[in-house]
Amino acid sequence: MQIHTISTQLFAGQKPGTSGLRKQVQVFQQAHYLENFVQAIFDTLEGYAGKTLVLGGDGRYYNRNAIQTILKMAAANGFGRVLVGHNGLLSTPAVSAVIRQYQAFGGIVLSASHNPGGPEGDFGIKYNISNGGPAPEKITEAIYARTQSIRSYKILAADDLDLARLGTVQVADMQVEVIDSVTDYAKLMESLFDFDRINQMFKSGAFQMRFDAMHAITGPYAKAILEQRLGAAGMLLNCTPLEDFGGGHPDPNLTYAKDLVDILFGADAPQFGAASDGDGDRNMILGAHCFVTPSDSLAVLAANAHLVPGYKDGLAGIARSMPTSAAADRVAAALGIDCFETPTGWKFFGNLLDAGKATLCGEESFGTGSNHVREKDGLWAVLFWLNILAVRQQSVGQILREHWARFGRNFYSRHDYEAVPSEGANRLIDSLRNRFGILPGQRFGDYEIEFADDFSYTDPVDQSFTQQQGIRIGFVGGSRMVFRLSGTGTAGATLRLYLESYSADSATHNLDAQVALADLIKIAEELAGIRQHTGRDQPTVIT
């Protein structure tokens, strides 16, 4: 087997976003495109010779091709061992768990998360460091800089490997070990949750749930854990991973998981419903005729963590992304622990978790997790809810209502305007930014603007500074709205509008969030000119 050095050309735009490099499949299929980025990762790293790399993806179209290429490049660049998921499959949280369990040097995750798949869909790649979490900005910036100067890459001339067979094979000077995709992750979950108690809840016959894997990577994990170990037989949907996710959009929200939503809001609804996304790191939680916002979900998990074996000794702290509601802040205050507000992107939680400052973390974009890995974890959140339900023996709705009665309710919603013209979206943000000095004091009906700024963050662990993370408009009394351009799409821009209003009055707590936030929604249009800048009369997705 020979190592070849291949001359290449530069590609513009290989800048990783909040979750790595995401582009349409056709972009990645260009000659040298994937190889350039992988070589840029390896060129940026130091001290990996002879070390272990973890490799896996969500099974979307082009995953199989990319896995084979990366294995040959890892061998050519001097890695000593690669742990690769069976058939190239590993959920994103499972990659993190495997990195941590085997003390690997790092890992490469192949996924575009919740974006559509198939030949006309999206593909993505990101690098995770030795703590199991996404590479911090100093590394992703170095990778991007390298993509702008790279002239060649190294690859081994070798046949493709059979990834359907578990076990170890030698590839030149590197070992490739094909591991079961589920086993290590399932053992970790069993160490955190009371599987016996959850199993008894299912055995009673009175408890029913539906879990929708959306034809994505969580399917095999759900089959092994929810069905085979916990007894949720016949309660799982769409558990066969498909390269195009069955033609669906693997984003677990009220719009794209409509079939599940219809079941939970229909006649004879089961007590509990949940879904996960393309790579298994996101979750949606539902009760019978009840939707739990991700912000409320984080707060409820934190308030009930003492009921779960892995967290019964208490929480060091809670961390949430800036656009996520302040519901978790109220729980943290009651528990006497810190609540950290970070930019969007799971990498910002890594330092807090490593330093022991936080135990639970969450983002409003359907991501929740803890210090068990360094990624958000969809199935973990589902198991956490099941553990709480098994102990409290109440419905999801009852748990929510009791939570709001104790802490008050943060009415919250996110309005997504997907694939809008980038120029118009940028103009909207710039227009708001240019008015920071004149917005405070302006009144809109009963609402008076208290402050307007662009969120920045100084990491309390390493003092790194991150700026321009979202436009915040705060009102007297605590209501707020946030305007932010997402870094997870691949076509045009995604404008996200976040709206939040707090009420301690239990008489209001059963209001629909869109009704409770109706005045803020109108003010957002008046302030930002969303129709004018995006050409859209309404959001693509409301959650």
CB atoms within 10 A of CB 519: 15
SS (HEC) of 114-144: CCCCCCCCEEEEEEECCCCCECCHHHHHHHH
- SS3 label, residue 522: helix
Instruction: Kindly list the catalytic residues.
Output: 113
| 220 φ/ψ angles, rounded to the nearest 5 degrees | -60, -35
Q: How far apart are CA 116 and CA 53, in angstroms?
A: 27
Q: List residues bridging with 417 in a β-sheet.
A: 495
- SS3 label, residue 163: coil
The closest of 369, 288, 356 to 324, measured between CA atoms, is: 369
The closest of 364, 453, 368 to 416, measured between CA atoms, is: 364
Q: How far apart are CA 66 and CA 122, in angstroms?
A: 13
SS (HEC) of 28-46: HCCCCHHHHHHHHHHHHCC
Q: Give residue 493's identity as a one-letter amino acid code.
A: A
Decide if 214 contacts 275 (C-beta within 8 A): yes
CA distances from 516 to 2, 291, 410 (A): 66, 15, 10
Decide if 407 contacts 299 (C-beta within 8 A): yes
Q: Which helix (H) or strand (E) holds 176?
A: strand 174-179
CA 27 from centroid of its chain's CA atoms? 23
Decide if 543 contacts 498 (C-beta within 8 A): no
CA distances from 90 to 82, 374, 492 (A): 13, 15, 29
Please identify which residue in the block is written with the tokens 């002239």.
Answer: 151
DSSP 224: I
